[in-house]
Chains A and B, each alone.
Chain A
């Protein structure tokens, strides 16, 4: 008798614990809006975001803003899961290229911000889809080549400038010259240690500089001819040859550490690494623009941006918060803390690194002149993975034309099965 009573009690306790675990989390309401940030774990960036939230709460008392942060690498997965279950916060952080996908899926709504604000932002920090603005960001990032000045000077290589970047031939010749330099294992670290979105972000600009593209931007309905056309093939063959000729390692050290460790003379990477390089090498570190492979230098554009979800209970407050967060002083804070490019010129002048004569002063101009946002289509997720896989196969030695053709096939099939994604 006693045994069965005890067992009944334990069963009931377990069952109620299980149910308690399913309790719904705090909901957005008219006077509380949730903001999600990808900056979890990034101390400096998260501190800036928290500061904005605290300041906004102190500046008015109609709504309270609550910040939730996630580690960046799992952020997108968390957001997709929340979106699928209709549980998105009012203000949601998004990586630029995902904005069209979510706008198409009706997860975010068009923003309601003053035009003079959105006009003052760097074009690549504004997320558009079908001519509506869905997201805005306080910063952008650029792709650059960080190099050792001494390596270039000692080998008689011309140092490129914004107005006169390296051509393909110059760049290639520079790499070959540097490969003879005993001080370095490889002339350049092309960054192939990274995973996922990096492959599309970093190498599609090179493809575009050669004259190809990820998808036909007139129609957004096919990649045939632009990805696997003659320019695309030229890019693929050149890219593969860099590894085959031993000019770059197929297995560089993770996190781009080959450059600070002195194993390579140059590294192709994000501008967010520039500050670290300056710290390690002082004056010997220089920032070079990317080469012009034939159709002008191109770098990626579009970093983290924020939008308002369609399920938000108080979109006016959310838009108000966004406008507040885009004040110059906060853009300056981001730029100073993390080394990302400020979204407005006025803010740039007030920052430590981006003002005239500052360490990173040229980067906003790089971004303005060379940045090409990744294709603004809901199908970008598949374009990105297909292109990324093609690039990885090229590094591994696959046949360039066949690899590009397969990528085109996958992309086109996906666009077709989604009825053109609304184009």
Chain B
């Protein structure tokens, strides 16, 4: 009995008794099992790596955060209970600042970057001549290493750098020498600017893919109804982007909360703790100062926060039946 013929049997057709039929069912089940086995085998390397490099370290982090483990030490780690967590919130002003800075960064970057990405996607989607060149130019920063971008922008931000020169020119010769990265008030906005610049291309592409799945017939119908640009956006485009919206929101939030590279390369958390982020603080305490237990505690707090925010976002954007 070949597999083909058992598939050809119409559903609901009465199954007779006898070896022929149960042979078909058995064959189907056998093939399903084998397919399941192949599937398992295909996924096993990824699962292995995932366990080794993600699950095990997360588990270790949870365990270490309750001890005073150190990176290098002859003393065995001691169990500390919740002392690390208390220390973070009570005894470590830099941690509180990191928390605040990370939230501020995410709170600004998420709306700005997603809105800008959408705007750019709408522009690029108009199909004007040369739009592919623009698309490439906007996307290029995304494929550039964040370290390189940070170094370049730190040159731009010098007090005699390009940004100040451009501002001088724009304001008609006023002597603009703001040390962007050295003033506590401007350092974080400066980092926000370059972060948005670097990543907006990626989200533009994602929005673009969403825009291009919207049925053009809907736009034609809207035109027939006499809808203007804004109405078309509001009633055709925006609802059509629902799924993409959720994806963009969640990915930008998670990426923004993980701010690290720019801080490490450009400002090392300064000036006056105005740019330290949670991840940077965890790396400084846990790795550079070798205080693994405390670094693990900070990482755990970060993990819980990101999880909470992601779940909250999922709740906000859930399918309302």
Q: Min CB distance, A247 to chain B, in Å?
A: 15
Judge if A337 is at the interface, Cβ distance under 8 Å.
Answer: no
Residues of A within 8 Å of B73, CB to CB, are: 104-105, 418
Are the C-beta atoms of A7 and B42 separated by less than 8 Å? yes
Are the C-beta atoms of B288 and A397 separated by less than 8 Å? no
Judge if A219 is at the interface, Cβ distance under 8 Å.
Answer: no
Interface residues of B in 67-124 (CB under 8 A from A): 68, 70-75, 91, 93
Interface SS of chain A: helix, strand, loop or mixed? helix
**A18–B34 Cα gap in the complex (Å)?**
24
- Closest A residue to B68 by beta carbon equals A417
- Closest B residue to A7 by beta carbon equals B38
Out of A83, A250, A381, A406, name the residue touching B182 (CB < 8 Å). Answer: A250
Interface residues of B in 40-62 (CB under 8 A from A): 41-42, 44-45, 48-49
Are the C-beta atoms of B289 and A385 separated by less than 8 Å? yes
**A14–B42 Cα gap in the complex (Å)?**
9
Supposing A381-B290, A396-B184, A397-B272 touch, asked if A105 and B74 sit within 8 A by C-beta, the answer is yes
CB < 8 Å A-B pair total: 85
Are the C-beta atoms of B271 and A393 separated by less than 8 Å? yes
**A393–B49 Cα gap in the complex (Å)?**
42
Residues of B within 8 Å of A106, CB to CB, are: 74
- Closest A residue to B159 by beta carbon equals A251
- CB-CB contacts of B146-162 with A at 8 A, as 1s and 0s? 00000000000011000
Are the C-beta atoms of B91 and A413 separated by less than 8 Å? yes
- The CB with the most chain A CB atoms within 10 A, among B71, B93, B284, is that of B71
Are the C-beta atoms of A396 and B72 separated by less than 8 Å? no
Are the C-beta atoms of B70 and A418 separated by less than 8 Å? yes
Q: Min CB distance, B46 to chain A, in Å?
A: 9
- The CB with the most chain A CB atoms within 10 A, among B35, B44, B45, is that of B45
- Closest A residue to B49 by beta carbon equals A18
Supposing A7-B38, A18-B48, A250-B182 touch, asked if A406 and B290 sit within 8 A by C-beta, the answer is no
Judge if A4 is at the interface, Cβ distance under 8 Å.
Answer: yes
Are the C-beta atoms of B270 and A251 separated by less than 8 Å? no
Judge if A101 is at the interface, Cβ distance under 8 Å.
Answer: yes
Residues of A within 8 Å of B91, CB to CB, are: 413
Out of B48, B159, B272, name the residue touching A396 (CB < 8 Å). Answer: B272
**A392–B268 Cα gap in the complex (Å)?**
9
Are the C-beta atoms of A385 and B288 separated by less than 8 Å? yes
Judge if A102 is at the interface, Cβ distance under 8 Å.
Answer: yes
Number of residues from A at the complex interface, CB < 8 A: 36
Judge if A382 is at the interface, Cβ distance under 8 Å.
Answer: yes
Judge if A113 is at the interface, Cβ distance under 8 Å.
Answer: no
Interface residues of B in 167-189 (CB under 8 A from A): 179, 181-184
Are the C-beta atoms of B158 and A251 separated by less than 8 Å? yes
Judge if B269 is at the interface, Cβ distance under 8 Å.
Answer: yes
**A175–B181 Cα gap in the complex (Å)?**
25
Are the C-beta atoms of A11 and B41 separated by less than 8 Å? yes
**A271–B275 Cα gap in the complex (Å)?**
33
Are the C-beta atoms of A393 and B270 separated by less than 8 Å? yes
Judge if A117 is at the interface, Cβ distance under 8 Å.
Answer: no
Judge if B27 is at the interface, Cβ distance under 8 Å.
Answer: no
**A398–B97 Cα gap in the complex (Å)?**
15
Q: Min CB distance, A383 to chain B, in Å?
A: 10
Judge if A389 is at the interface, Cβ distance under 8 Å.
Answer: yes
Supposing A385-B284, A389-B270, A397-B271 touch, asked if A15 and B45 sit within 8 A by C-beta, the answer is yes
Which 10 residue pairs spanning A and B have beta carbons closest together? Answer: A396-B271, A105-B72, A11-B41, A382-B289, A392-B270, A250-B182, A251-B158, A106-B74, A396-B272, A398-B272
Query: Apart from A4-B38, A8-B41, A418-B75, what 12 extra A-B contacts exist at CB < 8 Å?
Result: A11-B38, A105-B73, A251-B179, A381-B288, A382-B289, A385-B288, A392-B268, A392-B271, A393-B271, A396-B184, A396-B272, A406-B93
Some 8 contacts from A to B, beta carbons below 8 A apart, are A4-B34, A7-B41, A11-B41, A11-B44, A105-B73, A195-B268, A392-B268, A395-B182
* Partner-A contacts on B (CB < 8 A): 34-35, 38, 41-42, 44-45, 48-49, 68, 70-75, 91, 93, 158-159, 179, 181-184, 268-273, 284, 288-291
* Partner-B contacts on A (CB < 8 A): 4, 7-8, 11, 14-15, 18, 80, 83-84, 101-102, 104-107, 195, 249-251, 381-382, 385, 389, 392-393, 395-398, 406, 413-414, 417-419
